Amino acid sequence: METNTKTGNFISVLAVYFAANVIFIMSPAMNSIATNLYLDIAYGTVLLLSTISSLFMIPGSLLAGAVLGKKVGFKQMAVISLGGIVIAGVLPYFITNFTVVLILRIIVGFCIGLGFPLQSTLALKLFDDNERPAILGKATVAMSGGAIFYMLVSGALCDINTSYVWLVHGILIIPLILVIIFLKEPKNIEESNQTEVKNEKNEKLPMLAVIKSGLFMVVFFAFYPVLLNMSAIVEQEGLGAGVVTGIISSLFTIGNAIAGIIFAKVYQVTGKYVIPVGLVFWVVGTAVFSFGNSLVMIIIGVVICGISVQTVWPGTINSFSQYVPAGKQSMASALFISGMNLGCFLTSFYITGVAELTGNADPRLPCQIGFVIVTAFAVIWSLIEIKRKKSSCV
């Protein structure tokens, strides 16, 4: 029975991670949505259909981090999260009013946010230190596989009918069914959660976890134009149509998948230096994409960025088990992901601001300026991680 429960929980982890990158449905579609569905609305405003979801992932994540395993069970949270994404994600196919669609995107973002602490907490609580790196790696592959599907299908559908993009959200019915069937909450986990609630008043969220969330926010804020402006760069420079954008976008998640496959081995070799290693790759990938003027260089940069993000992300989540109290791990995970989502949301204003201040609307420019920011804060983050390594006996 224990083996069956663990297998079921593993399947459930893969299912919820598969849904994590559903926001990427929008990446290859933004230019098509702006030019085909909302011609009378400014491009920067249309970008809100993607970035506002990122913003509202934040309250969703923080709420889930506060109540997950205490007032709301893993399975309940998964059903609410996945079900909400499916309903609010598909409805814009039937509703064309921009304001209503924007509200639906807010709901999508909030429901995605509910799922983020769930993913991390399942990995932290249901698997021990020896199992977890491999589980996180496999979960990353599932997350990347989902994103590849989302972006490839989204990019292809844009060339047929832009409105079909909204229907892609319906694929989450599959992980929803898997969670309903397989996710179990073992008695020992429930007892552990009750103990954590009793001890929570004596536990504090370490400042290091807060600092990492802030660093993740800034780095992702500076990096995100790479993904957000990808379709505009590809089309402006005559590198291909929507399907090509979808393929290139999917290469980012192929990089994610590569990182997931090798994460356990990389972690074994680098230990707590895994995050600085990931940050180095992040800087290199951003530089190659931002300054490479050929399709080949763009592809290489996107793949490297994909590897780096999914090295830094699970590396940080895994490190929480070393210094974050058990009762605060859900909140630490929620805060970390919220940092990323806030960075994503602010990016649309950053892109618009760069164009207005410089008088240059080249979609590459925000990426190139972002490279400088990514480099500076990657150095700061790496120094903090190295200091933690030297001062920790773990």
Domain ranges of the chain: 2-391
Asked if residue 326 has pLDDT above 80, the reply is no
Which three-class secondary structure state does DSSP give residue 63? helix
Of 91 and 139, the structure prediction assigns the larger pLDDT to: 91
Q: Which of 300, 27, 36, 14 is nearest to 151 (CA)?
A: 27
Q: Which of 145, 179, 174, 160 is nearest to 24 (CA)?
A: 145
H or E segment and range at residue 180: helix 173-182
Query: What percent of the chain is modeled with pLDDT above 90?
Result: 29
Residue with tokens 């709301």: 72
d(CA 154, CA 249): 10
Asked which of 228-232, 274-278, 365-369 is least confident by mean pLDDT, the reply is: 228-232
- Mean residue pLDDT across the chain: 84
Asked if residue 221 has pLDDT above 60, the reply is yes
Give me the mean pLDDT over the 277-296 stretch.
91
Q: Is there a contact between 366 and 230 (Cβ–Cβ < 8 Å)?
A: no
Q: Which of 302, 287, 171, 240 is nearest to 31 (CA)?
A: 240
Of 236 and 78, the structure prediction assigns the larger pLDDT to: 78
Residues 305-315: tens digit of each pLDDT: 999 998 998 88
Residue 394 pLDDT level (bands cut at 50, 70, 90): very low
Q: Output the CA–CA distances (angstroms, integers) from residue 62 to 55, 118, 160, 329, in the order listed.
A: 12, 11, 38, 12
d(CA 175, CA 85): 12
Query: In this predicted structure, what is the pLDDT of residue 213?
Result: 92
Report the predicted TM-score, pTM, of the whole model to 2 decimal places: 0.74
Of 130 and 221, the structure prediction assigns the larger pLDDT to: 221
Query: In this predicted structure, what is the pLDDT of residue 6?
Result: 73
Q: Is there a contact between 226 and 308 (Cβ–Cβ < 8 Å)?
A: no
CB atoms within 10 A of CB 239: 14
Residues 141-181: tens digit of each pLDDT: 888 788 878 888 888 888 889 999 999 999 999 999 999 98
Under CATH, to which class is 2-391 assigned?
Answer: mainly alpha
242 token code pair: 């929507």
Query: In this predicted structure, what is the pLDDT of residue 372?
Result: 96
